[in-house]
Amino acid sequence: MLHIRDLVVTYGAATALDGVSLDVEAGEMVALVGPNGAGKTTTLNAISGVVPTASGTIENGGRSAQVPEGRQLFADLSVDDNLRLGAWRMPRRDRNTERVYAVMPDLRPLRRQRAGLLSGGQQQMVAIGRALMARPDVLLIDELSLGLAPLIAARLIEHLREINRDEGTTILLVEQEVDLAFDLCSRAYVIEAGRVVAEGPTDVLRADPQLAAIYLGTAMTRSETP
Amino acid sequence: MTTFLTYIASGLAVGASFALIGSGFVVVHRVTNVVNFTQGTLTVLGGLISYSLLSMAIPHGLGEVAAVLIAAVAGLLVGLVTLSRPGTPAFVALLVTLGLSFLGTAIIILVWGQNPVSPPGIEGSIAFGSVSIESQRVLIVVVTLAVFGAMWLFFERTDLGRAMSAAASNQRAARLVGIDVRRMGLAAFAIAGALGGLAGVLLAPTLPLSVYSDLPLALSGFAAAVFGGLSSPGRTLIGAMVLGVSGQLVAGYINGSFQTQLALVMMLVVMIARHRSLTTEEAK
């Protein structure tokens, strides 16, 4: 579905991605983890085509839609308008928001509310819903749980599982909470400083002492701040 | 009493034209966050073009519509220059529009000179009880209300209108869902040109326009737009009507030369009252 080979992305003199290769097969759920500034968001932005690539290839066998970090909703617009605009590239008849409410019924009573007034978890649902409106084959999700209570994040993960199962949507998830990401995904790539440093099935990676070393620091500081 | 009602009625007509000018400010600011200082120039341009076209014996209706369309093209040109460099800060873009407004002023003086002109409008007047109002003024109010209704439908009920609002609300997200932010901005400038042109076309028969009408018209329209927080067409309409009516009352009972000051005072009051909400909006 998604095949990336030797991808290099530079921002001026800085190299954000230094030869990243990764493969995501149709119907898979794959996690992309790594410390801050490793190049996770850049990878997603390159797939979405919003940052230019310096070299390498991105072969996308389907349509992708991104759930950006920090949700990035249209705060002044209603929930329903946010969702409709997710289908901006689609023909008019494919802009019916009902399909999102079917997947996430919690959004239905909020449809007329201004998106900026919703809670963080509700906003993240709208962001996922807006991406779903583009009928993506691949859903690119950037920092699903950031700023959300664990219970809310777990609920969103459940929605993603349903979306993957019921609609066959492939998911590439960037996530700081490694445990959360590994619970959902069967495979993962670990990137650091713009390079893939480890990859494989999540249950194998979970037991990897080297990976624990990379993450122990972040895990500890994170648990200190509630 | 009749005099008072006459002032109110003519105030509503003047207010309606302020509302059209103000909505031009609102549409551009809402979509691009730029304050477009050519709005008054575009208004004068609309009035002058309709004057020239009608005096060339182009029939009524056609001349006015052509003037509005030409003003829309002029608005689009302003947008093309103002938005030519992506990432230009809004306050720099504001200065660009100010410069273009000076350029427009020069062009207007070259083509039309400096004397006020007034194209023919609708003849006659309509009686509402004891109050008799010029038909042209009634037309201004009717057209303005229709335009605001259409604008509400456009922004609230069409996906293009939603996409234009979205481009203003969050540019990054707009790009991510595939909205062409620059094109939305250009469309906003063209619409603003049409709104300004329409105001000029409708206003000129009752109020002769010259290049010097630019600033007072722009100020009044801007005051109305500020009343609407530079983002709400509905509140802009209300602000414009308040300004128009109070202006006529002040002119009728006190002194006609106070009208511009009235707009400035109203802006000042609104800005002080809204100071908190404006600063928090900018902080976002």
Q: List the single residue in B159, B169, B173 with the smallest CB-CB distance to A95.
A: B159
Q: List the single residue in A50, A73, A76 with the smallest CB-CB distance to B175.
A: A50
Instruction: List the alpha helices (DSSP H) in chain B.
Output: 2-32, 39-55, 62-82, 90-112, 135-157, 159-169, 171-176, 181-203, 214-227, 233-253, 259-283
Ranking A120-124, A169-173, A214-218, B242-246 by mean pLDDT, the lowest is: A214-218
Mean pLDDT for the stretch of residues B163-173: 89
Local confidence band at B229 (pLDDT 50, 70, 90 cut-offs):
confident
pLDDT recorded at residue B276: 59
pLDDT recorded at residue A37: 84
Whether complex ipTM tops 0.85: no
Spatial CA neighbour of A193 closest among A54, A31, A20: A20
The DSSP 8-state label assigned to residue B115 in this structure reads: S
Local confidence band at A226 (pLDDT 50, 70, 90 cut-offs):
very low
What is the H or E stretch that residue A174 is in? Answer: strand A170-174
Average per-residue pLDDT for chain A:
88
Average per-residue pLDDT for chain B:
89
What's the rounded Cα separation, in Å, for the pair A2 and A189?
Answer: 14
The DSSP 8-state label assigned to residue A140 in this structure reads: E
Report A:55-94 residues touching B (Cβ under 8 A): 66, 68, 72-77, 81, 84-86, 88-89, 92
Across A162-166, A211-215, B231-235, the highest mean pLDDT is recorded for A162-166
Shortest Cα distance from A45 to chain B (angstroms)? 9
CB contact under 8 A, A130 and B177: yes
CB contact under 8 A, A75 and B174: no
What's the rounded Cα separation, in Å, for the pair B239 and B20?
Answer: 11
pLDDT recorded at residue B278: 52
**Is the pLDDT reported for residue B106 higher than 90?**
yes
Q: List the single residue in A48, A73, A88 with the smallest CB-CB distance to B179.
A: A88
Mean pLDDT for the stretch of residues B237-264: 84
B40 in Cβ contact with B209 (< 8 Å):
no
Shortest Cα distance from B273 to chain A (angstroms)? 21
All residues of chain A having their beta carbon less than 8 Å from the beta carbon of residue B165 are 74, 76-77, 81
**Is the pLDDT reported for residue A154 higher than 80?**
yes
| B174–chain A Cβ distance below 8 A for any pair | yes
With vertex at residue B282, the alpha carbon angle to CA B280 and CA B284, rounded to the nearest 5 degrees, is 75
| B179–chain A Cβ distance below 8 A for any pair | yes
All residues of chain A having their beta carbon less than 8 Å from the beta carbon of residue B177 are 85-86, 88-89, 130, 134
pLDDT tens-digit map of A190-219: 998 899 988 999 888 888 777 777 664 444
Nearest chain B residue (CA) to A77: B166
pLDDT recorded at residue B64: 94
Burial class (CB in 10 A: 0-12, 13-18, 19+), A36: exposed
Instruction: Show Cβ contacts of residue A130 under 8 Å, excluding neighbours closer than 6 positions.
Output: A67, A73, A82, A83, A85, A86, B177
Local confidence band at B171 (pLDDT 50, 70, 90 cut-offs):
confident
CB contact under 8 A, B173 and A73: yes
Mean pLDDT for the stretch of residues A29-34: 93
Q: Could you tell me the CA-to-CA distances from A22 to A60, A199, B246 in Å, in that order?
A: 12, 9, 68
pLDDT tens-digit map of B184-215: 999 999 999 999 999 999 999 988 999 999 99
Instruction: Show Cβ contacts of residue B208 under 8 Å, excluding neighbours closer than 6 positions.
Output: B116, B117, B118
Strand partners, A64: A138
pLDDT recorded at residue A215: 63
Q: Could you tell me the CA-to-CA distances from B142 to A152, B13, B50 in Å, in that order?
A: 52, 9, 19
Q: What is the three-class DSSP state of A39?
A: coil
Portion of chain B with pLDDT greater than 70, in percent: 96
**Is the pLDDT reported for residue B96 higher than 80?**
yes
Mean pLDDT for the stretch of residues B38-56: 95
Spatial CA neighbour of B228 closest among B239, B218, B244: B239
Shortest Cα distance from A210 to chain B (angstroms)? 36
Count of H-run helices and E-run strands, chain A = 8, 9
Spatial CA neighbour of B204 closest among B263, B106, B131, B122: B122
- Rounded to 10 degrees, the C-alpha dihedral A113/A117/A122/A126 comes to 60
| B159–chain A Cβ distance below 8 A for any pair | yes
Q: List the single residue in B165, B178, B284 with the smallest CB-CB distance to A77.
A: B165
Spatial CA neighbour of B45 closest among B148, B117, B141: B117
Local confidence band at A113 (pLDDT 50, 70, 90 cut-offs):
very high
Q: List the single residue in B166, B178, B284 with the smallest CB-CB distance to A74.
A: B166
User: What's the whole-model pTM score?
Assistant: 0.83
pLDDT tens-digit map of B109-159: 999 999 999 988 888 888 888 888 889 999 999 999 999 999 999 988 899
